[in-house]
Amino acid sequence: MSEITILAIDLAKGSFQVCGVRADGAVVFNKSVSRRRLYQLLSEQNRCIVVMEACATSHHWGRVAQSHGHEVRLIPAAYVKPFVKRQKNDRADAEAIAEAASRPSMRFVAVKSAEKQARAVAFRTHQCFVRQRTQLINALRGHLAEFGVIAPKGPASLKLLEQALADLKNDLPGPVREMGALYLRQIRELTEVVEQLADDLESASKTDEELRRLCTVPGIGPVTAGAIAAFAPELETFESGRNFAAWLGLVPRQRSTGGKARLGAVSKMGQCDIRKLLIVGAMSVIRWVVRKGGSTNRWLANLVARKPRMVAAVALANKMARMIWAMTTKGENYRMA
């Protein structure tokens, strides 16, 4: 196995397809191995380039390969697809991964450390419980609406729902009150968990220098700062703040041809969690500007006056992404323009 220069792995849960390729591109073997055998193969194989698609469990296997001295390259799945020949199967996928990795202009994803992935787990858990709470609130609103009890969206409407369930003067049946009490109990429990996780994120933003620096930007709070720390790669890998904003999908999608530039809506091709939180934070800043009747930032004031709010929010989110890159790479706090 010393002649192998690229080891391409098509990941799965229990059965993995491994393709070994020589320096001249010839396939030495393309076989299916078990999970235990893959650990053994990575330990026995001489140092080479280990390539995988950037998907579930890829960062774990990347760390395993790095621990045995291999160079790891993770390729976005969209960049591998053009190299699949004819039929879609594990053998063809493994060969396509090896072929894509041999391209000199191919872009790769950095392997995340276990600590960085732990941050991602904390953020995903917070978002998961928030969605579950929203689902329960909407379900309760929908059930009570069938009996004439109407409440607005959001957690703020819970008091109205509680009052309606406790009011014995309305004609709500007994089973509905019982089921409503179950919903309210589950919502309270989830609210306690969500608040605890939010407090943990806020505490981390006060003790961690990087998170504290990010929170100095208007529109960025502990949750957004935690998402950036969890999902964004080292910002020094980006040549400029514009490249970071493009990675987030905050730049226009191009459909240019014949020398004529055609720009459309934002591409949405990057990290969706950070992009969504930056836009939400930008919208909160714009609401504050509208409420105050202006801003000392002339660029922002003119933008809000000329453009619809969502367009202005995306533009401000783009600028926030560039500021984040500049602050992180230079180690400086936010300064009012």
Alpha-helix residue ranges (DSSP H) falling in 258-308: 272-292, 298-306
Report pLDDT for 191.
94
Which of residues 101, 129, 160 is at a domain's end? 101
32 phi, psi to nearest 5 deg: -95, 135
> Taking Cα atoms as reference points, which of 67, 28, 72, 41 lies closest to residue 54?
72
Count of domains for the chain: 3
User: Do 258 and 239 share a domain, yes or no?
Assistant: yes
Q: N- to C-terminal Cα distance for the chain?
A: 59
The residue-averaged pLDDT of 92-121 equals 92
H or E element that contains 29: strand 27-34
If you average pLDDT over every residue of the chain, what do you get? 90
The residue-averaged pLDDT of 277-291 equals 91
Residue 1 within a domain: no
User: Do 91 and 191 share a domain, yes or no?
Assistant: no
DSSP SS3 for 234 = coil
pLDDT > 70? residue 322: yes
Contacts 24+ apart (CB under 8 A), 133-138: 133/187, 133/190, 133/191, 133/194, 136/183, 136/186, 136/187, 136/190, 137/187
Residue 109 within a domain: no
User: Do 95 and 136 share a domain, yes or no?
Assistant: no
Dihedral angle of Cα 213, 219, 222, 226, to the nearest 10 degrees? -80
The pLDDT tens digits of the residues spanning 139-164 come to: 999 999 999 888 888 888 889 999 99
Report pLDDT for 337.
60
Dihedral angle of Cα 62, 63, 65, 67, to the nearest 10 degrees? 160
Residue 308 within a domain: yes
The residue-averaged pLDDT of 89-117 equals 92
Residue 106 within a domain: no
User: Do 202 and 221 share a domain, yes or no?
Assistant: no
Strands (E), 153-283: 252-254, 263-266
Residue 140 within a domain: yes
CATH code for the domain of 33: 3.30.420.40
The residue behind tokens 């836009």 is: 279
Provide DSSP, 301-323: HHHHHHS-HHHHHHHHHHHHHHH
What residue numbers bound the domain in which 269 lies? Answer: 216-330
H or E element that contains 194: helix 174-207
User: Do 310 and 247 share a domain, yes or no?
Assistant: yes
| HEC sequence for 123-155 | HHHHHHHHHHHHHHHHHHHHHHHCCCCCCCCCH
Provide DSSP, 162-181: HHHHH-TTS---HHHHHHHH
How far apart are alpha carbons 303 and 65 in whole angstroms? Answer: 49
